[in-house]
Chains A and B, each alone.
Chain A
Amino acid sequence: VTRRQIMVVAAAREIRDRELVFVGMRLPLLGFALAKATHAPNAIGLFENGVIRDRPPEGFLYTMGDPPNIVNALACLGLLDVMSLLQQGRVHAGFIGGAEIDPRGSLNTTRTEAAGKLVRLPGSGGAADIASLALRTILIMEHEPRRFRPRLDYVTSPGYVPGRRRGGPATLITTLGVFDVTPTGLRLRSRHPGVSVESIRDATGFPISAADDAPETIPPTEAELEHIRRADPDGFWTGRD
């Protein structure tokens, strides 16, 4: 079992049946397909390019705009249509990836500094919209010390910042574990199999709340792995197990 397969399963478990979910790219795409195939058959996925679908795609997806994501979609609309559903408060959950995170769950994907030099990142895409408007968000990131910053140079996607109207980040899924995101900081919910609490603290650039006996993330079942392999047959997103 690869770390990324564990992350996909953790993402899928964040989706409840009958929810409207803003899916996004990469691992959440697979997580959505997995949730649909298992515990959330009536979940509906929204994609910012305007696609709404309630069936898993029939083929492998590199991007949300790939032709298999259009075939048998529920609707193909425009970006403002799906963003409007988000703004209305009808979208239960949304997935966002980040380059850097702070203790309040804000994400930076716009610009940072490394060795005193400006590093320009690609920008928000739809992330700032999902962060501002979804009823709850699920964050997905690589777990490295340099990505966990007490203060961000730039807040692209706001977490628990003053003036938030509703929602906020509920869960952070990283390559090392799963966390509750709260207005007062990160709390370890589970560590991935074989990862110690100490190594998670070492890999996080600010203090977190973590019980020494934090449980392990429940690994994927054989049936779940089967679904992931079907959606990602060459292990392009999840690696080879």
Chain B
Amino acid sequence: VETPLTDKRASLHQALEAHVPDGSSIALGLSLESLIPFAAVHELIRLNRRHLTLIGPISDMAFDQLIGAGCVSQVIAAWVGNVAGGSGYAFRRAVEEGVPHPLEVEDHSNFTVGLALKAAAMGIPYLPTYTVRGSDIATGHPRIREVDDPFGGPPLLGVGALHPDVAIVHAQRADQEGNAHLWGNLGITVEAVYAAGTTIVTCEEIVSADVIRSDPNRTVIPGFLVGAVVEEPGGALPSSVQGYWRRDFEPFLEYHRQSKTAEGFASWRRDWIDGLQDRSQYLARLEPATLERLRVRERRLAAPANFAP
């Protein structure tokens, strides 16, 4: 029996318009330094979204850009900055000076933010752990409490469940229902997708359902968890996409230099956000030589796995 396909394809603009209203909590940057959905981040700035809560482990530049653009009221994360440069200057301005407006920060470690999402993904109120004992992360934390071990061991810390409204994930490929293949390091992608109310998948290419079904172990995101799927090639640049794009290092340093002042941030925003309509214009703005250097042409194919019954 053929199950009819649900077509969840949308433009990035439509997908964010439909699934990410003002005040949403969004998990993104879930693979850490790779597969960061920068196209979606930039479109959220163009949509002028307000009062967002951002959830993630480390966030290489993406959270800083949304904070600088005034989209964010709260950050729930382990690290906010720029991996190449260190500090996130927009994050610092928001916390230190309330510019462009004050920011609430719920500090985590990578493990605790992952456990908070995992607890939500499992449908339980918290998960116990031995991490961050003795760290001030645990001091007065709204989501971390000491819990007893009912089996008589030493006390642990319970990390409360965290339910994002939406997860935004960039994948290598997906079908039109949003069933998505990802490969490489996954960070806390799986936990966040299962914890979130819905997921927006941006991907390098939309492929037939047969391609996805041929390798179900690689289907990290089942389509029934997905609200919209967007074909957005290069949608993670300047972060890397295994098999498609190398890391574009220069924009990280350039943003780090420019965002040092609020004026510099505004100028970066004019050039790279407001001056562009969408991701295709971002790609067109890169030097052809840069684009060619970033694009992966080489093939390093995995050996096929035989799924014959």
Contacts and interface: CB of A to CB of B under 8 A. Distances in A.
Given A66-B240, A78-B190, A165-B154, A123 B77 contact: yes
B136 interface: yes
B131 A155 contact: no
Given A64-B32, A66-B247, A70-B184, A125 B92 contact: no
Which of B58, B84, B239 has most A Cβ within 10 Å? B58
Contact of B240 (A50, A67, A165): A67
Given A49-B185, A79-B188, A155-B134, A122 B88 contact: yes
A118 interface: yes
Interface string B183-218: 111111111000000000000000000000000000
Interface stretch (B106-114, B271-279, B283-291): B106-114
Interface stretch (A156-164, A183-191, A204-212): A156-164
A110 interface: yes
A64 to B, nearest CB: 7
A121 B80 CA distance: 8
Chain A: number of interface residues, binned into ranges: 35 or more
Interface string A93-127: 00000000000000000110000011111111111
B231 interface: no
Contacts of B190: 78
Contacts of B47: none
B80 A122 contact: yes
A49 B110 CA distance: 9
B95 interface: yes
B96 A67 contact: no
B32 A157 contact: no
B132 interface: yes
Contacts of A119: 92, 96
Given A63-B60, A65-B185, A123-B78, A80 B115 contact: yes
B57 A125 contact: yes
Interface string B66-95: 000000000001111101101110011001
Contacts, number: 182
B165 interface: no
A127 B135 CA distance: 10
B183 A76 contact: yes
Interface stretch (A11-19, A30-38, A128-136, A195-203): A128-136
B134 A129 contact: no
Contact of B133 (A76, A111, A124, A158): A158
B111 A65 contact: no
Nearest to A133: B131
B144 to A, nearest CB: 11
Nearest to A155: B136
The 7 closest A-B pairs by CB, nearest first: A65-B33, A158-B134, A122-B81, A65-B34, A49-B185, A125-B79, A63-B33
24 contacts: A49-B33, A49-B34, A62-B249, A66-B33, A67-B296, A71-B300, A76-B185, A79-B111, A79-B114, A79-B186, A80-B115, A80-B191, A83-B131, A110-B107, A122-B88, A124-B108, A126-B78, A126-B111, A129-B109, A154-B136, A155-B134, A157-B135, A158-B134, A163-B133
Interface of B: 31-34, 57-58, 60, 77-81, 83-84, 86-88, 91-92, 95-96, 107-112, 114-115, 118, 129-137, 154, 183-191, 239-240, 242-243, 246-247, 249, 296, 300
